[in-house]
Amino acid sequence: MKCPACTTEMAEVNIQHTVVIDRCPQCGGVVLDKGESEMIEALGLAHVVEEGVGSAHQHRTTSAHCHECDKEMVALRGAGEVEYDWCDGCERLFFDRGELSAFGAFVDS
Ligand SMILES: [Zn+2]
Ligand SMILES: [Zn+2]
């Protein structure tokens, strides 16, 4: 999978030995697939994601691009002012580097 922000090929990262996510080695962005919602729940991200959907706004000048669907992603803001992008095609989520630093699970080891 290519990074929505910089098109670098993403690498799989094991989080807390329970889930595997895609992280960009270039810009540090993180992609969560739709099927990983249980993992989102486990990581305590559910409230963040739920608040964001439905409150679309523009938070950066160049939006992220879903290379799987070849479409622009929707910029959203969830709980705790966490900003992320959502693809309305495959429902994939993209978090910029730093946006998930408030969540212990994403602190670099
Ligand atoms: Zn990237
Ligand atoms: Zn997509």
Q: Output the CA 17–ligand 1 centroid distance in Å.
A: 23
* Residue 38, domain member (yes or no): yes
Ligand nearest the Cα of residue 96 is: 1
Ligand nearest the Cα of residue 95 is: 1
Say how far apart CA 96 and CA 101 lie, in whole Å.
Answer: 10
Q: Output the CA 30–ligand 2 centroid distance in Å.
A: 14
Whether pLDDT at 42 is above 80: no
For 43-93, the pLDDT digits (tens) are: 676 666 655 544 444 455 567 999 999 999 998 887 777 788 999 999 898
Q: Into how many domains does the chain fold?
A: 1
Q: Output the CA 15–ligand 2 centroid distance in Å.
A: 23
* Residue 6, domain member (yes or no): no
Percentage of residues of the chain with pLDDT beyond 90: 28
Residue 9: pLDDT band (50, 70, 90) is very high
87's tokens: 């693809």
Q: Output the CA 52–ligand 2 centroid distance in Å.
A: 17
Q: Output the CA 4–ligand 2 centroid distance in Å.
A: 9
* Residue 89, domain member (yes or no): yes
* Residue 5, domain member (yes or no): no
Instruction: Give the domain extent around 39.
Output: 11-106
* Residue 3, domain member (yes or no): no
* Residue 2, domain member (yes or no): no
What value does the mean pLDDT of the chain take? 77
Identify the CA nearest to 19 among candidates 1, 48, 43.
43
Quick one: the chain helix, strand, coil %, rounded to 5?
Answer: 20, 30, 50
Ligand nearest the Cα of residue 2 is: 1
Quote the Cα angle for 108-86-76, to 5°. Answer: 90
The DSSP output letter for 83 is E
Mean of pLDDT values over 24-40: 79
Quote the Cα angle for 88-31-13, to 5°. Answer: 160
Query: pTM of whole model > 0.85?
Result: no
